[in-house]
A and B are shown apart, each in its own frame.
Chain A
Amino acid sequence: MIQYLIRRLIWAVALLLVVTMIGFVLFYLVPANPAKQACGKACTPEMIARVAHYLGTDRPWYIQYVRFVGRLMPVSFHGGPHFKTPNLGKSFVSNQTVNRIVVNAAPETASLVLGGVVLWMLIALPVGILSALRPRSLLDRTTMTGVLIGVSTHPLFLGLVLLYFFTNKLHWFPIGGYANFWHPAYGEPSGPLQWAYHLILPWFTFAVLFMAIYVRMIRANVMETMNEDYVRTARAKGAPESLVMRSHILRNALLPVVTMLGMDIGVALGGAVFTESIYGLHGLGWWTIWGLNNFDSPTVLGVLVFATTMIIVFNLFVDLLYAWIDPRIRLA
């Protein structure tokens, strides 16, 4: 178990290095001069050179990369080994540290993604199970049509349609923005209620695609498990249908769903970009777009590192969870 964790950690570090290196090389290939941009329009070549030296962009890319990784390390050997906060560097464009950007953006994305996951599972589970219990019934047919519409609707389109009807026409929901869950900022809506109110449309927009995929997956898994021999054994024992469903069908049918969920959180993070753009949520996706538009490599790479770390941590968590709920799997 410990051995497994150590191996996973080593892999995680290797993965992070590869991801960041690819990111670095890609930005190096882009024909943009961050120093020139940061300096402004009326800069002389000498001034640009000085800014480039200040930003560190006058060095070859591998030196920049080594420095980047050095800042990222949680330990430092400068002046005796000691722990330090990993530093993602400073934005070339906005005068903020990337750490600051990530700390501010992460809660918005987390609210969107976690709330969206809860919403999609809350709907997909009962609907998928009910459809499986009554295949080809009216409910099942309606659901399958809904699934088809759901998987073929892009979040960008859906978001705009929802905004048009529910905000522009009906004025039910705010046009966008984020309300802080905890700290009431002066003059701005905040608190759990406002937080949820601002996020209802984004959650829905974000969740529909996965909801559709999961309804179909849960339905298929449950239908398959219902025909298993051990389900017949449970009935032959005299188990009532509710127990057969809970203890014998669902317990087995939902195992693959847990795995899929772990993998899809990463995919979903990518999907969050669209939702954040439409609803003006300044989350990780929004900052990525901003960073790309402004050739601001520190911001993009910072978000990349953070998101990758989160996905790795989440997958590890799901693997551990899976080993716990499925006795056939022992981590080794």
Chain B
Amino acid sequence: MALLEVKDLKTYFATGDGIVKAVDGVSFSIDPGQTLGIVGESGSGKSVTCLTIMGLNPKRNTISSGEAFFKGKDLLKTSQQQLREIRGNDIAMIFQDPMTSLNPVHTIGHQLMEAVLLHNDVPKQQARARALELLKQVGIPRAEGRIDDYPHQFSGGMRQRVMIAMALINNPDLLIADEPTTALDVTTQAQILDLIVKLQQEYGSAVIMITHDLGVVAEIADEVIVMYAAEIAERGHVDRIFNNPRHPYTWGLMGSLPRLNADVERLVQIEGQPPSLLRPPKGCRFHPRCAYAMDVCRTVDPVLAPVPGEPDHLQACHLDAETKTREAERLLGAFATEASAS
């Protein structure tokens, strides 16, 4: 049975200008121990999807619908009281910016122990021991001496390690990592990713990795969701997404990945800006930026349908299968030539 099963999730925000459809009918599931990568541009609804599952959207002006079954319980219909018991215990979250995600007036020991004590009826000594154990596991040097330090005494990478320790301290079944490496420098990024993968194996947690970096997804994900303008554009096994991408937006994302061996003058970029979610384009939301747009794309919103011969690989695009196969092969072929040329 799936650990988390999300069906037709919608999150709308009522603003002064109208209703912003931040997530518009997203479905996916994740099995225990699995890693799901959610990729997309800023504002495509990746983070809001996860915040909705956690029940962390601001209560006021937010309308959510759909289902999110976690271990058989619909999180969208669970009371705040019960959600609190799940948050930080069964589902934990790591945020994007470690510089602002820790409370500046409490020691990191205090903040780690708080996470333990909120969900376990244990003496403080034991909570502290557990906090220390986690700090060592995430690789904080001289953890004994640093547990009583304040967040401002740590670097960004070290703070993200503390955040990871805090997320894993209650041994969660599901870890949601919301762009955990975006705010870090490149060498630290790799270390933090390795750490998440290592600890995921140790703890057996499922991981949802939200990122805009396809490289990260290729490295650690089992399943991939590509989101565009609040909807899923393509969904499938990491292998299939990278070897047989079926959506022009995915092609665009892959084309804009920098490659060291590439002989091209400049990166391929997706023309234009992501659409406003206040008034999304009619038809396929990607059509104003799509090089393959046809008349039907401007009027009919494509449904998420399986790729012929691949029942677990879904995509939402009107383009005919032959053109897609041809274009995907051309793209992959270009990569291959680059690779062989170097």
Contact = CB atoms under 8 A, between A and B. Distances in A.
B60 to A, nearest CB: 9
Interface in A233-281: 233-240, 247-248, 251-252, 255
Interface string A317-329: 0000000011110
Contacts of B87: 235-238
A230 interface: yes
Interface of A is mostly: helix
A326 B101 contact: no
B144 interface: no
A237 B150 contact: no
B84 interface: yes
A327 B105 contact: yes
Contacts of B92: 236-237
A237 B101 CA distance: 12
A234 B104 CA distance: 12
A233 B103 contact: yes
Nearest to B103: A230
B97 interface: yes
Size class of the contact patch on chain B: 20 to 34
Given A237-B88, A238-B85, A239-B118, A229 B95 contact: yes
Interface string B78-93: 0000001111110011
Contacts of B56: 232, 235-236
B105 A325 contact: yes
A189 B101 CA distance: 57
B147 interface: no
Interface in A71-127: none
A251 B105 contact: yes
A238 B104 contact: no
A327 B163 CA distance: 19
A252 B102 CA distance: 12
B102 A236 contact: no
A221 to B, nearest CB: 14
Contacts of B103: 230, 233-234, 247-248, 251-252
Given A251-B105, A326-B105, 10 more contacts: A229-B100, A230-B104, A232-B101, A233-B103, A234-B114, A236-B95, A238-B84, A238-B86, A251-B103, A327-B104
13 contacts: A230-B100, A232-B56, A233-B102, A233-B166, A234-B114, A235-B56, A236-B54, A236-B88, A237-B88, A237-B115, A238-B115, A238-B119, A247-B106
Interface of A: 228-230, 232-240, 247-248, 251-252, 255, 325-328
